[in-house]
Amino acid sequence: MSTPGLPISELLSLLNSGKLTAVDLTQACLDQISRQDARVGAFLSVDPAASLEQARQIDKRRARGETLGLLAGLPVAIKDVICQKGTVTTCASRMLEKFVAPYDAHVIEKLRKADAVLLGKTNMDEFAMGSSTENSAYQVTRNPWDLERTPGGSSGGSAAAVAAQMVPLSLGSDTGGSIRQPAGLCSVVGLKPTYGRVSRYGLIAYASSLDQIGPFAQDVRGTALLLEAIAGADSRDSTSVPKDVPRYSQTLEQPLQGLRIGVAREHFAPGLDPEVERSVREALRVYESLGATLQEISLPHQKYAVAVYYIVAPSEASSNLARYDGVHYGHRAAQFDSMVEMYSASRGEGFGSEVKRRIMLGTYALSAGYYDAYYLKALKVRRLIRNDFDAAFQQVDLIATPVNPTPAFKIGELVNDPLAMYLSDIYTISANLAGIPGISVQAGFSSGGLPLGLQLLAAPFEEERLLRAARMLERETEWHRRRAPLAG
């Protein structure tokens, strides 16, 4: 196992004892990127000089005995949808190819305060619109477990970077499953926080009522530590909730007594791969052996989640992306004869096909004569989906589901079938619509050696419970100890 692939607790112990320096750890990450990323394509940009200088300053402060932050010396990769001052932030789009962020996102400020080393920007589906990281304008990211397969999306670069041991921690964003889905396909841990738990200030918007920033790590402890570092209220984000942030990493080892886990019958319908179902059922049996009780529940409006999502999210995208017109922001075409042509050519050249598809879907749903029939109705059903979860959490503490309906699919397999691609998020979308937290944790492997994940969902702001429950499973199994063949 390479140094960046060591458990976070071990890395911190080595750093704090002086047996490992932040410079050495950062250099090990850079070396692993140099060895592996030409095949994986996880990173869009890396700044070795800047990251090594950050690491040197942390080592100097540690040598002087100064009090350091929560992540002191740990390298973190950043999804390229999050603004980092002085760094090109492209959203994997030609539209923002030359955009240099003039400020730090709130989470970047928090990482700096926690003394993390900012290693580089990771690849993604353009403007976070996709489930396979094939929609990037720059490169395709591959799954470290099988280079012919997708790592999932849209945060595929962040998940693949951790799975390939290029970096111990990374940040992604989750609008309909974009953290949990790639975490499940790459055998890492990924958590979508409650809407409002982590500030969206500096996150380039896709769908503002759905987007959330969250952590990836090789294990649950790393995920807890990174969430602890980035969570908290921010006055610059009006949707940020002023709640105290628990010490997630301090309570992680406390088992949950009398845990009640809900199993929704709607999550085990036709279309679910038998091996995925088997892995989820086996994980649930582990919980039963630890004293948890399983209870069948119903989420009757779950069947509408995909349809609701693909009205609400594209509608918000249509509005948010209107600013990229060749005047205010982004790419401007070189050839045009009028202002209208300039707008048309600039957006036509700057946006990829999936972004265009979703802008058109959203614009149609918001147009006169269709707003009530589509967008307004979708908002009403969204409320019913949240009501289903509220009712379920009166009966159970957590809900367990698959993360993905199948193991990782091959690159190119679904790219020309948008509906099939959209259905790959069928188990994750509803958590974003309801604003509740969810985590993906390793739950086994297919007969072909591909990772399979378990998703746990909780009531709003119950991330601590999610993490403790995920850690219970992790302690009892060995799945999280297996490493991708590419990572060695």
154 is catalytic: yes
Are 308 and 378 contacting, i.e. CB atoms less than 8 angstroms apart? yes
Q: Is 289 a catalytic residue?
A: no
* Beta carbons within 10 angstroms of residue 94's beta carbon: 17
Instruction: Name the residue among 181, 134, 137 with its Cα closest to residue 276.
Output: 181
Active-site entry in 51, 136, 178, 249: 178
Under DSSP, is residue 379 helix (H, G, I), strand (E, B) or coil?
helix
Q: Are 199 and 233 in contact (CB under 8 A)?
A: yes
Q: Which of 132, 154, 158, 173 is catalytic?
A: 154
Are 299 and 380 within 8 A, CB to CB? Answer: no
Cis peptide before 154 (omega within 30 of 0): yes
Half-sphere exposure of 126 (CA within 13 A, CB side): 22
Residues 6+ apart with CB under 8 A from 174: 155, 180, 190, 192, 211, 212, 213, 214, 428, 432
- Residue 410: how many other CB atoms lie within 10 Å: 13
Question: Largest Cα–Cα distance of the chain, in whole Å?
Answer: 71
Amino acid at 205: A
Annotated active-site residue in 79, 110, 121, 192: 79
Question: Helix, strand, coil proportions of the chain in percent (round to 5)?
Answer: 45, 15, 40
User: Nearest CA to 319 among 368, 369, 358?
Assistant: 358
Q: How far is CA 285 from CA 75, 279, 396, 488, in A?
A: 36, 10, 17, 32
178 tagged catalytic? yes
**Positions marked active-site:** 79, 154, 178
